[in-house]
Copies of this chain bind each other. A is one copy, B any other.
Amino acid sequence: MGTTMHAIRQTGSNGPSSLHWGTTERPHPGDGEALVRITHAGVNRADTLQAQGHYPPPPGVTDILGLEGAGLIEDPNNGTRPDGTPWKAGDEVAFLLSGGGYAEYAAVPHGQLLPIPAGFGLEQTASVVEVACTVWSNICMTAHLREGQRILFHGGGGGIGLFGIQLAKALGATVATTAGSAEKLATCQEYGADILINYREEDFAGVLAGCGGVDVILDIIGAKYLARNIDALAPDGHLVIIGMQGGVRAELPINKLLAKRGNISATGLRYRDREDKARVVRETVSNVWPMLEDGRIRCHIDRVMPAEQAAAAHRALLSGEVTGKIVLKLPGAH
């Protein structure tokens, strides 16, 4: 076993053009970590931010991009599956990372290893780990979405949106979504969205307040939507902000929030500690994996590209032309 590997290296903070395929040192698994040979890595909008010099990895984590993937166990290092049986070398596995997915190998904390859902391949599984953990932790563990409630996903055509729509429908919620084109909204509808709002043509807050408001909002916009999101909330509603594509500071109308007993959480997976991530992964596997296995949730991969073309993948994501996910294929994939 060599001591180097191929990976996407970042040589600046200039976005896609900073990304190059090269070689680097292979990671060594520490205590409580397995070594995984990666075959597929999911691409997330957060990766494009990191390539632009924002959203740095937590202290001590590799600066290689990539928050999720799938592959084969190279060295289990005594890790066990959620059901308690040991992982073995050669087992197919998926994983949630704090960084390091755009590479041939990653050291993965045992609590962030996930089994492959029955009937799923590595490519498909690599495309759902981050969205599944993100959507479950936010709409269920943070906002406690219940059957019969209403939820709004902004950017319904993205990876989180398409996954969230299906998960919320599986939980018995009514789903509203915003997107910027009729085509993306048609895809949202195909995956189950009930209320479709083209944000270029309609004011989502007016539409939703007019029908009683929504109980939960999963927001990736931040400042630009803050006031309107609060207008769109139902009494006791919960706004969960997981992205700030629309700015980082905005005026909060506390009186409106108080009048509807509203809640705001701003959160993310990446900076949680290991124990917290393991808890999210455990709950996601036990609650969401069955929905993948029985077809209640399907993955939507827009395209699969060789990992060497990560820069092109980022350009595609940033252009807004992508619906669902992009997956990078590492050289070791069959």
Interface centre among A250, A252, A253, A255, by most chain B C-beta atoms within 10 angstroms, is A252
CB contacts under 8 Å to B, within A245-289, are: 247-255, 257-259, 261-268, 271-272
Kindly supply a per-residue 1/0 record for chain A positions 25-59, scoring 1 wherever the CB is within 8 Å of any chain B CB and 0 otherwise.
Answer: 00000000000000000000000000000000000
- Is A152 interfacial (CB 8 A cutoff)? no
| A230 CB to nearest chain B CB (Å) | 10
Bound-state Cα–Cα, A241 to B254, Å: 8
Residues of B within 8 Å of A244, CB to CB, are: 254-255, 258
Given contacts A226-B252, A249-B254, 12 further A-B contacts (CB under 8 A): A241-B257, A241-B258, A244-B254, A244-B255, A250-B254, A251-B251, A251-B252, A252-B252, A254-B266, A262-B265, A263-B264, A264-B265
A223 contacts B by Cβ under 8 Å: yes
Chain B minimum-CB-distance residue to A257:
B266
Which of the four size classes fits the interface of chain A? Answer: 20 to 34
A222 in contact (CB, < 8 A): yes
- In the complex, the answer to whether A222 meets B261 with C-beta atoms within 8 Å is no
> In the complex, how many angstroms separate the beta carbon of A187 from the nearest chain B beta carbon?
28
Q: Interface 1/0s, chain A 211-249, versus B by CB < 8 A?
A: 000000000001100100000000000000110100111
Nearest residue (CB) in B for A261 is B267
Q: Which of B222, B249, B272 contacts A251 (CB 8 A)?
A: B249
- With A261-B265, A261-B267, A266-B261 in contact, is A249–B255 under 8 Å at CB? yes
Assembled-state Cα–Cα distance A242/B259 (Å): 10
> Would A263 and B261 count as touching, CB distance under 8 A?
no
Residues of B within 8 A of A272 (CB): 261
